Every structure is written in C-alpha cells, then in structure tokens.
C-alpha cells in the first residue's frame, strides 16, 4: 500500500515601504541615514542613465537598449547587499545592477553600442558579462556558488533572471543542483509581469514564482520589488545565509516593466495602458522620496543636487564613450581561442590579405 503525504507550504511576502512612503518599523532593515541616501542616489543615477541611453538609441548613437525603468529598487536594493568580490551574473536588463556594482557607465554604453569591451569588469569587482540567452546565466551562477562552497572562500554568487527565464530548463537545472549541493547562490527573479509579450499568467500555473524553490528543497520568498528597503533586507538575509554555508535562496521581486521589452518592441500592442498607469503609482523612487522627506533626509536642495550630479556623471560617461577608439577587427580572430586552430588561421590570413 502506498501512503500519500500531503504537506502545506507557504511563501512569505515582504513589504517594508509602501507606495505612500510609509514604513513598517518592525520590518525595517538595519540601515543608516547614509545608507538611505546612497540607495536613493543610486536609483536616481540608474534612472538618469536609463533615460539617456534610451534617447541615445533613438538618435542612433548606440545600437539597442533594454530599459530598467520601474525596476530600479529591485536592482539597486539587491546589489547594495552584496560584497564587492561576490559574483554577479547579470541578464540583459541588469544595467542598473552593474552600475551600482561599479561597472563604468562609459563601458555600459560601449556594450550597448556593440563593443564587447564594455563588459570588462573592474578589477575590484567580480561582474560576469551580460547574458543575452534567456536563463543560461543561472547555470554559471550555480557553478560559481558551488565552487565557493567547495573552496570555502566566503563568496556568494548572485544571479538576475526575468520571470520568463523560470520556464527554461537552465533555470530548473541550476535550482536543482543548488538545492542538492547547498550552493552559495542567490537567485533573484525580477518578475516584471511580462516575458517579452507573454504575460506571467500565461507561462506558469504557480501562484508565485518564489514557490518554485520548494520543489528543490530550499527557501523562496516574494518581495515588493518596488520597495528598495524590502529588497535590500531579503537580499542581505539571503547572501548572509549563503555565506554561512546555509544554502541558496530564490527571491521573487514582484515589480513591473514600465517601458517596452526593448527598443525594438511596442508594448502597447499587448498590454492595457490602465495597467501601466496603476503600476506608475507604485513607482520605487516616488515612494522613497516620500519616506525620506518625512524622515527629514530629503529637501528640494538635496534632491536637485542629486539629479544634477547624476546628469553630470552620465554626460561625462557619454562624452568618454564617444571618444573611445573602435576595437581592432583582428580581435575577432585573436580572442576566439587560446590557440588559433588551422581553419581560423587561414581565415585570419585571408582577412589580412584583403586589407593590403
């Protein structure tokens, strides 16, 4: 006789700062006033860069771009909880996370302008290149987290994914290995409601994405992805847990993609403008400004200075980007393999002959 055992599982949802700028003091993370200002300043910088990058694409000064708008809290709050040498595995919409992690904005513009040198990580950070294939970075992050556990180096691997990536086998395999080997990996799913044009409800029957962790034997939590304080809190708890050797975590940041999927998309074709307007009321920066004003940390002078400093920093990055010398076309050949195979050598010689 087979005896079936049915267990009841629950997923926690965390919100610290609501859309009206009110906080639940009992849930407030341990942050100083300086931390609050840095979180705010980083969100303003990311949004300023985001707006300008979109404009540059429309002017033909970069090749393509995927907006972060609406997801600043998810990226800023989570990266702020990491240590510099922790491993970051970004997806194609992780521009904000990379900026907070010290990736020069000039290099970000290089990348979106078609120059792979833009993804060279600063020495003081462990930033992996942006993953364009959906979900493949989860496996790389799992490997880094597993390696950290084996070596005992105390580092944590953090990977960013969209809700669409959770339907891919790469995500499932990475989650399974993370659970089996107790890897020091944190999976951050920015559930912005759409996998390009496919609504979240049309790609999974799960009530939450966070509950997918249950099947793989570790913790999943859903957080208000427009609440930078809540995102910081759950990510800090998750990376601390992983660093102690207590295993992985899946964090679902419940947020919204305010722009199109990319600069080649028209979201008006598949979503209701009223929905967009409702989510606009939950803007992560607006609520942070309300909270900081009430706390006496934000006034017009400080707000204007933060915006002015961000605008100046972005302008400086653009000026530097547009002065960068183009990459050497020979790099296509010389950086393909450690040792160039015969066929590639022949192609390389043909290329050099064509340039004489």
- Name the residues annotated as catalytic: 257, 261, 270
Give the Cα-Cα-Cα angle 9, 12, 13 (nearest 5 degrees).
145
Length of the chain: 356
Please give the structure tokens belonging to residue 351: 């290329």
Contacts of 228 (CB under 8 A, 6+ apart): 17, 39, 43, 72, 73, 76, 77, 284, 288
Q: Which of 78, 68, 19, 74 is nearest to 47 (CA)?
A: 68
CA distance 33 to 40: 11
* Among the listed residues 320, 291, 289, 285, the one whose alpha carbon sits nearest the alpha carbon of residue 302: 289
Quote the crossing angle between the two packed helices 33-58 and 105-112, to the nearest 10°: 30
The two tokens of residue 300 are 């017009």
**Residue showing tokens 């849930």:** 27
Q: Which residue from 255, 209, 253 is spatially nearest to 231, judged by alpha carbons?
A: 253
Q: Which of these, 195, 251, 257, 253, lies nearest to 74 by C-alpha position?
A: 253
First to last CA, the chain: 81
CA pair distance 86, 148, nearest whole angstrom: 10
Helix axes 169-181, 137-151, angle to 10 degrees: 10
| DSSP-H helix ranges across 101-227 | 105-112, 137-151, 169-181
- What does the angle CA 87 – CA 14 – CA 277 come to, to the nearest 5 degrees? 95
CA distance 57 to 52: 9
Other CB atoms within 10 Å distance of the CB of residue 51: 15
């Amino acid at each position: 006789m087979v005896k079936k055992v049915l267990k009841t599982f629950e997923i926690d949802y965390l919100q610290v700062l609501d859309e009206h700028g009110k906080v639940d003091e009992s849930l407030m993370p341990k942050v100083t006033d300086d931390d609050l200002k840095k979180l705010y300043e980083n969100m303003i910088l990311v949004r300023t860069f985001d707006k300008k990058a979109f404009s540059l694409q429309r002017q033909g000064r970069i090749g393509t771009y995927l907006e972060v708008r609406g997801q600043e809290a998810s990226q800023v709050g989570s990266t702020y909880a990491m240590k510099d040498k922790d491993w970051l595995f970004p997806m194609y919409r992780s521009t904000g996370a990379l900026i907070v992690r010290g990736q020069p904005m000039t290099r970000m513009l290089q990348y979106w302008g078609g120059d792979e040198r833009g993804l060279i990580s600063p020495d003081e950070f462990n930033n992996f290149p942006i993953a364009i294939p959906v979900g493949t970075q989860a496996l790389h992050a799992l490997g880094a987290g597993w390696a950290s556990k084996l070596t005992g180096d105390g580092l944590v691997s953090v990977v960013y994914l969209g809700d669409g990536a959770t339907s891919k086998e790469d995500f499932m395999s990475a989650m399974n290995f993370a659970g089996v080997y107790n890897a020091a990996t944190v999976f951050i799913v920015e559930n912005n409601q759409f996998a390009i044009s496919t609504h979240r409800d049309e790609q999974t029957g799960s009530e939450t994405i966070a509950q997918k962790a249950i099947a793989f034997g570790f913790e999943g939590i859903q957080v208000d992805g427009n609440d930078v304080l809540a995102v910081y809190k759950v990510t800090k708890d998750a990376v601390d847990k992983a660093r102690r050797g207590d295993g992985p975590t899946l964090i679902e940041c419940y947020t919204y993609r305010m722009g199109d999927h990319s600069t080649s998309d028209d979201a008006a074709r598949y979503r209701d403008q009223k929905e967009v307007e409702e989510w606009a009321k939950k803007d992560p920066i607006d609520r942070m400004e309300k909270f900081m004003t009430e706390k006496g940390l934000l006034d017009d002078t400080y707000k204007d200075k933060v915006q002015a400093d961000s605008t100046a920093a972005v302008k400086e990055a653009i000026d530097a980007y547009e002065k960068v010398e183009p990459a050497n076309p020979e790099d296509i050949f010389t950086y393909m393999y450690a040792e160039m195979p015969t066929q590639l050598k022949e192609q390389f010689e043909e290329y050099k002959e064509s340039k004489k």
